[in-house]
Copies of this chain bind each other. A is one copy, B any other.
Amino acid sequence: MYDLFFKCFREKVAISNEEEMQIRHYLMPKKLRKKQYLLQEGDPCKYIAFVEKGLLREYSVDESGNEHIFQFAPEGWTISDLFSFLTGEPATYNIDAIEDCELLLISKSAHEELLLQSPKYETYTRLQLTGAYLAMQKRITAIISLPANERYASLTALYPDLLQRVPQHMIASYMGLKPETLSRVRRKIAGS
């Protein structure tokens, strides 16, 4: 249940077994069934969730009822509404499970205590934040500089397995396209 988390952790920062036990103490396992919410817009985001197994999505819903997927989180990823988590403000995103999930939750108080007590945890989260920042930077660059068909190509290159696990209309939403448009883009790509 904790394997993947500490595997990912150790890829960034070396820790002893004692340190691992200390950190493990703060992690709260949780299972989530397909379609269940981890977080709903309007509620404060109380946890950072690490995905041991399964797949989640983070998305907002606009006035017209359209969903806009902001992020996918497969195994090994971390997901939360960071702004809400840090400030206590109501969340502006929903997070729910696309597949049955096994998660490790870190509460706000656990997070704060860990930052104070474990320099390794602090380093780890710093590197994680840096990585997330850089990934998002690349994503913005792709959005502002690539047309729809190339955006799709770059996504498939980056997450080849995601397309097998996620319905196509969610991929479309992630790319900021309508399902019909994505379908047509795919047809063009396939036929060339």
A137 near B176 (CB under 8 angstroms)?
A: no
Question: By the criterion CB–CB under 8 Å, are A140 and B141 in contact?
Answer: no
**Could you say which of B126, B129, B143, B145 contacts A140, with CB atoms under 8 Å apart?**
B143
Residue A185 at the chain B interface, CB threshold 8 Å: no
Tell me the residues in window 122-151 of chain A with beta carbons closer than 8 Å to chain B beta carbons. Answer: 122, 126, 129-130, 132-134, 136-137, 139-141, 143-145
Question: Are A82 and B143 in contact, CB atoms less than 8 angstroms apart?
Answer: no
The docked-state distance in angstroms from the alpha carbon of A122 to that of B126 is 10
* Contact of A68 with B136 at beta-carbon distance under 8 Å, contacts A129-B129, A129-B130, A130-B129 already known: no
Report if A60 contacts B (CB, 8 A).
yes
- Once bound together, how far apart are the Cα atoms of A42 and B143, in whole Å? 22
Q: Told that A136-B140, A144-B174 touch, could you supply 18 new A-B pairs with CB distance under 8 A?
A: A60-B141, A60-B145, A68-B141, A70-B137, A70-B141, A70-B144, A82-B134, A83-B134, A83-B137, A86-B130, A92-B141, A129-B133, A133-B133, A136-B136, A136-B137, A139-B140, A143-B143, A144-B176
